[in-house]
Amino acid sequence: MLTDQYDFGMIGLGTMGRNLLLNMADHGVRGAGYDKDGDKGRLLEQEANGTAVKGFSDLQAFLDSLKQPRAIMMLVPAGKIVDEVIAELQPLLSKGDILIDGGNSYFKDTERRVAALEPQGLHFFGMGISGGEEGARRGPSMMPGGDKEAYRVMQPILEAIAAKVDHEPCVTYIGPGAAGHFVKMVHNGIEYGLMQLIAETYAFMKQGLGMDNEAIGNVFGEWNRGRLQSFLLEITASIFSYREKGADHLLLDDIRDEARAKGTGKWTSQIAMDLEAPIPTIDIAVSMRDLSKYKSLREQLSASFANAGRPAGDNREAQLAQLEQAFFGSMVMAYTQGLHLLAKGSDAFGYELDLAAIARIWRGGCIIRSAFLQDIYAAFTKDAQLPLLLADTAVAAQVTEAVPGWRKILGEAIASGLAMPAYAASLSYLDSISSAHMPTNLIQAQRDYFGAHTYEKVGSEGVFHTQWSQG
């Protein structure tokens, strides 16, 4: 029996779990991995190249191999499987053991699990991990929340394996309860928004400007060398150069235009509505993934409403400059909305989130990392109580500069029948959140008219009701 030999245990040896263990081994952490599929454990050992990593397919043997108190991470699909793994582990664990859920669990499920395991003396925390398989292997961004003492025990390991920016690890304690999974959920919502914006940018260049794939890829590559630098633009530029062996065209052109999702974007929209935090860029990104699945209906309707043509104007260089402005402004709105939701959630759930720290750890390793996160970090470092990212003068100045091109591009897209809903939602959000007067006084009058819901008056205290119908 290998008692007290391994420092850390991983349950679930898919790509993410395996790569995290290998990352730990590179930093001197002796890791044990468990998976019911013995082949995955053997693959782990093959890839370990002689480092102190071992795979197990027997759960008890795996647990016996870990140092006491045991530190174990689960990387299994979110939902009932997490509960099943916990139920299997509970009778085998001891007081003081640390159990980490590193998957994309819904934060309310994590709250429930924290409440159930804490009385048993088990230190449980949920940790969002971003960066995909490459991030797991070379350095992810990690968002641990929950048991603070358990985090402190794990802190040296997590800081060692995290991505580094300016020599700072992209991991920090997020907050109590399910704070880590809440922040990761919102991170993923922002990711949805950014991906939809990039897709609409692709459509504008391809359908609106008549650009070929090579030219489109060059634009994304050029943008990625400027203020728009980000992981998502980097991989997008790479996609526009990828051909399968022997193919004379991009793999992209063979991929169906029907997007899938795992639920984190939907959860973000749902909780935002509960908290009355407007996130229209993210909401429309979720909706467009759903809409994409109606492929046969879209094909049927395209015969009746085929109206996408070339936008007005023939100065491609000028239009691309305007498109860059429009993308920048829309990107800022996606981050702005996500951060506002984090602030609202922090107040509602008592997470005490540090938005500057969150922006700092998102600068490296994670899917939504970008040059602009440095601006976000600076804004919330300067003023931790900033009510909205757009209230920062430096950010506001950049957005204001982008607005003319943003409006021009959207006008051309609408005139040509080219759908850019995330761009439009982003600009409308800016126009609304910066409006001193909205037409919602009419909505209040309507509500009172048909339902006696009352309203408030300008310059008067109290609530009022009017008998609108004179009949």
- Residues annotated as catalytic are 184, 191
Q: Which residue has the tokens 């300067």?
A: 382
Are residues 413 and 343 in contact, defined by beta-carbon separation less than 8 angstroms?
no
Indicate the length of the chain as a whole number: 471
Within 10 angstroms of residue 458's Cβ, the number of other Cβ atoms is: 5
H helix or E strand, kind and range, residue 32: strand 31-34
6 three-class SS? strand
DSSP of 343-406, one letter per residue?
HHHHHHHT----HHHHHHHHTSSSTT-BTHHHHHHHHHHH-TT-SSGGGSHHHHHHHHHHHHHH
Q: Give first-to-last CA distance, the chain, whole Å.
A: 89
Instruction: Fill in the amino acid letter for 205.
Output: M
Closest CA to 342 of 184, 148, 115: 184
Q: Which residue has the tokens 């027997």?
A: 58
